[in-house]
Structure 1
Amino acid sequence: MTTNWIDAAALDEMPQDDVISLDVAGRDIALYGVDGEVFATDNVCTHGHARLCDGFLEGYEIECPLHQGKFDVRSGQPTCAPVTEALRSYPVKIEGGRVWLAVD
């Protein structure tokens, strides 16, 4: 199976130790810059309808701004209550100074 990579952002525009939101192929994506790495998940919390880009990023955890549930941005897995359902995470590659996502 061929992976369809989509050019999402310029690497030099990525904030470090912060999160931004992007529309990628019609999906609301949260893009995280952590310790020189980039990670991507859905941008809407699985517990309450809140945008994670409005939350607080600490290390590899994003905290939902609505109920303070947390997710690991590397995998989308919940790390504390009240969150129980994982976020969808997306493969990321850096190539040619660009951030590419596989959203299929």
Structure 2
Amino acid sequence: MTDWIDACGLEDIEEESVRRFDHAGRSFAIYRMTGEEVFCSDGHCTHEAVHLSEGLLMDYEIECPKHSGVFDVRTGEARRLPACVNLRTYEARAEDGRIKVRLA
């Protein structure tokens, strides 16, 4: 089993916002909804390698800043073209004021 990795402080991400997290040569996006509800996915859009941390997060959906493809941050499901390949998602949790992710 993969250990939980400390990604950042919960307060480092405003509610309804996304933040870039780089670890072990890979890039991820961490999403904070309201309160302590957090999610994590691969950081780059599956349509083109644009980082999603620059995108707009609203109602559990992240919009790619380049071509407006949309993904569900809870499941990684591609919801609007040109994105048609789902994002890989990872477990995330808020604990003691920190956001931790499991990058299995």
TM-score (norm 2): 0.91
State the 1:60 CA deviation.
Answer: 0.5
Tell me how far apart the structure 1 counterparts of residues 53 and 95 of structure 2 sit (CA, whole Å). Answer: 24
State the 1:96 CA deviation.
Answer: 2.0
Unaligned runs of 5+ in 2: none
Unaligned runs of 5+ in 1: none
- Amino acid aligned to 1:31: I
SS in 1 for 2:66: coil
- Amino acid aligned to 2:64: C
SS in 1 for 2:53: helix
Paired residue for 1:31?
30
Do the aligned residues in 1 keep the contact of 2:39 with 2:93 (CA within 8 Å)?
no
Superposed CA deviations along residues 23-80 of structure 1, whole A, max 9, x for unmatched, are 1333211111112211111110001121111111111110011111100011111111
Tell me how far apart the structure 2 counterparts of residues 83 and 76 of structure 1 sit (CA, whole Å). Answer: 11
- Amino acid aligned to 2:84: T
Paired residue for 1:81?
81
State the 1:12 CA deviation.
Answer: 2.1
TM-score (norm 1): 0.91
Tell me how far apart the structure 2 counterparts of residues 92 and 9 of structure 1 sit (CA, whole Å). Answer: 11
**Percent identity of paired positions between Structure 1 and Structure 2:** 43
Tell me how far apart the structure 1 counterparts of residues 100 and 27 of structure 2 sit (CA, whole Å). Answer: 15
Paired residue for 2:62?
62
Give the length in aligned residue pairs. Answer: 103
Paired residue for 1:22?
21
Q: Give the ranges of 4+ consecutive aligned residues of structure 1 lying more than 3 Å apart after TM superposition.
A: none
